[in-house]
Structure 1
Amino acid sequence: MKETWRWYGPLDQVQLSEIRQTGAAGIVTALHEIPYGEVWQRNSISKRRDKIKAAGFEWDVVESLPLHEDIKRGTGDLASLFANYRQSMANLAAEGIHTVCYNFMPLLDWTRTELKSPVANGGTCLRFSAFRMAAFEICMLDRAEAENDYPAEVIAKAHEWYVASSDEDQKELLNSIMSGMPGAYDRYDIEGLQRALYTYRGMNAADIRANYQRFLHEVVPTAEDLGLRLCVHPDDPPRDILGLPRIVSDADDIAWIMNAYDAQANGLTLCSGSLGANPENDVVEIARKHSDRVHFAHLRNVRNDPDGSFEEAEHLRGDTDIPALCRILLEEEKTRKSAERRDWQIPFRPDHGHELLSDPQKKTFPGYPLIGRLRGLAEIRGVLHALSA
């Protein structure tokens, strides 16, 4: 497996020269400055690729080539949006980049309620608190029917938190929920989020699935022609958020996606943390079933609470068996290599990480500290070496 590292380009406080010291061999990045729906031009791609190459890396994975919200809603000038997406894919392939991660989460990407939750041995982690999310939806956003989405004990705790919270507490909660969108141009305040949610009114999971299937049929044939691998990222967390249906959350969802356009170019980003945030997901079994369609892996761990909350755990100490996942991916690599596939190697990155030691001074994107991810990479590297011995 190839060690890679997520880098946010000019927006990132972690420099490529520092990433070299982690031992990672490849870079995962995107042109975050380009608004969603616009074409990624070849000169912009090549400039970013050349900077990465000059630092001693390959640009292994695009994360992400984002989808405009109109594609998810099935509204607007879809023909132009699909054409732009296909052109961006063609431009990436022309510049030698052939793996593209994306997601189909409505409005928000990964969602957390706390960005600096203390951990036992020192440092902080990302956390999703069920009662804080309920307080946001019910008390701050005033979303109709939000109380139907939470158990009574979570709702009671949500109201307690809201009554005791200050304006600053509420502002911090909104900021935390919005922080999973680096590079996105839509940062919502309460009124803006209410308006954005209104554009999805009346849509159910079947509607979102139909729009997703349309997207696959519009772009996967082009990916096949280009020799490009698309890999969808699971929902994070793997549950409906803000009343919006999420359709990449469990084993049934993933099986549906793989069958919606049955081709190697329609693949999966195996994110152990996202899938692991649903205790009912057997992440190892999902990996085993779909290993031939895994084009990219995010390896991290979470620790779940009974009320639906979870937090980022140490990479080897959460609820998911990371060594078992690594074993499956290594076996899949052997199968691909024996078939003489040029793309036999599976890139992975240590996803998220605790803020440790001097990480807070660096002011990196939430979840992407230098030292915390370096610890995760070192631990996973050790597992891979042991399994490969």
Structure 2
Amino acid sequence: MEYTWRWYGPADPVTLNDIRQAGATGIVTALHNIAPGKVWTNEAITERKKLIEDSSHRSSLRWSVVESVPVTEAIKIGSEHRDRDIAVFQECIHNLGANDIRTVCYNFMPVLDWTRTDLDYLQSDGSTALRFDQTAFAAFDLYILQRPGAEKEYSEEEKQQAKQYAAQLDEQQAQQLQQNIIAGLPGSDKDYSLQEFQEVLNQYQSVDDKQLRNNLQYFLEKVIPVAEDAQVNMAIHPDDPPRPLLGLPRVVSTETDAQHLLEMVDSPNNGLTFCTGSYGARPDNDLPGMIERLGARIHFLHFRSVQREGSNVNGSFYEANHLEGSADLVNVVKATVALEKKQRANGMNHPIPMRPDHGHKMLDDLHKKTNPGYSAIGRLRGLAELRGVEAALKGSFNI
């Protein structure tokens, strides 16, 4: 595997020098300063690449993966503007390939890129983690947002628990819950009102799972030929959490979903970002087996573990330490090492980029401003643990 690290650009409190010291060699980043639907020019890409790959340092880095080129809501909804936005996306892919950037992570999640109810869930050791609490989320949906039709999507028990949860929230706590959930909205540095958030959701009133899947196929049929020409691997990120939320459809939550996506356009350039946290939030996803079966089309790895609470697909979960929780990352790494060994035997000598995804906020980072899930020390611990597992498997066990 190629050890990579997500970096949010020059404003990230975790610097490129910090990343060098963490043991990563690849940078995963995006041009966050460019609005969705706008072209990433050759000049802008070259400038960022030069910053990352500055040869004056003894330990060099490379821009390994783009995460993410945004897919606009117009594309996901299939509105009259989608061809315009797809043309912009195509130009971005062409320009990235021209700059020797070969892997692009993207997602097709409506409205929210990720959803959590608590960004600082206290752990027994004093560190904090991201958490999705199903009851808290239902309380927001039913009693804070008051989304029309929401009551049809919850059981009577869930509604009663949510009502009790909402009743004990004071105004500040309710506002914090709202902010935590809307943090997954692209451009969430803006303060969205509940009305504005509902208006964004309303765009999907006529889009169900089937329509969203059709819109994804339309997008892939337009983009993958450009990616082939540019020699760029497209790697879709799964839904997070991997289930419907807020009445929004989801189409990349299970192994079956992933297989359908790969069959939409049967090209090596149409592939997956394999996120063990997102897929692992569902008890019916067999992570090592998915790597074995889908491995030829896995272009990027996100390694993290969540602790599921209960066996329900719609249950709560929180981000666990990387070698703890429900994901069984030891066997996931084992499956990955076996996959790469098989690929080398077939003449494919390109290691799969892997980054430690998320991490507990701990030690000095508890007193710093950090991007949710992306403090330095928690990810440093995760990367060190995962590298150790890989070294043991390749060394002592000769896998």
TM-score bucket (shorter structure) = over 0.9
Match of 2:373 in 1: 367
Match of 2:271 in 1: 267
Residue pair 1:32, 1:182 contacting (<8 A) in 2 also: no
Match of 1:30 in 2: 30
User: Percent of pairs identical after alignment?
Assistant: 44
Whether 1:379 and 2:385 are equivalent positions in the alignment is yes
Match of 1:212 in 2: 216
Residue pair 2:86, 2:219 contacting (<8 A) in 1 also: yes
Aligned length: 388
Match of 2:148 in 1: 144
Q: Distance in 1 between matches of 2:372 and 2:121?
A: 12
Structure 2, unmatched stretches of 5+, are none
Task: Quote the offset at 1:153 in angstroms.
Answer: 2.5
Q: Which moved more, 1:295-304 or 1:13-22?
A: 13-22
One-letter code aligned to 1:170: A
- TM-align CA RMSD: 1.4
Q: 1:239-272 deviations in whole A, cap 9, x for unaligned?
A: 0011000100011111100111111100000000
Match of 2:352 in 1: 346
Residue pair 1:359, 1:371 contacting (<8 A) in 2 also: yes
Whether 1:77 and 2:84 are equivalent positions in the alignment is no
SS of 2:234's partner is strand
Stretches (4+) displaced over 4 A: 181-187
Q: Distance in 1 between matches of 2:250 and 2:98?
A: 33
The 5-angstrom pairing of residues 156-305 of structure 1 reads 156-181=160-185, 188-305=192-309
Residue pair 1:5, 1:27 contacting (<8 A) in 2 also: yes
Task: Quote the offset at 1:113 in angstroms.
Answer: 0.2
Q: Distance in 1 between matches of 2:340 and 2:363?
A: 35
Q: Distance in 1 between matches of 2:187 and 2:375?
A: 17
Whether 1:325 and 2:329 are equivalent positions in the alignment is no
One-letter code aligned to 2:23: G
Structure 1, unmatched stretches of 5+, are none
Q: Distance in 2 between matches of 1:67 and 1:328?
A: 31
Match of 1:41 in 2: 41
SS of 1:355's partner is coil
Task: Quote the offset at 1:11 in angstroms.
Answer: 3.0
Q: Normalized against structure 2, the TM-score is what?
A: 0.94
In structure 2, the CA distance between the partners of 1:191 and 1:62, relative to structure 1 (3 Å rule), is: same
Task: Quote the offset at 1:181 in angstroms.
Answer: 4.3
Q: Distance in 2 between matches of 1:180 and 1:272?
A: 19
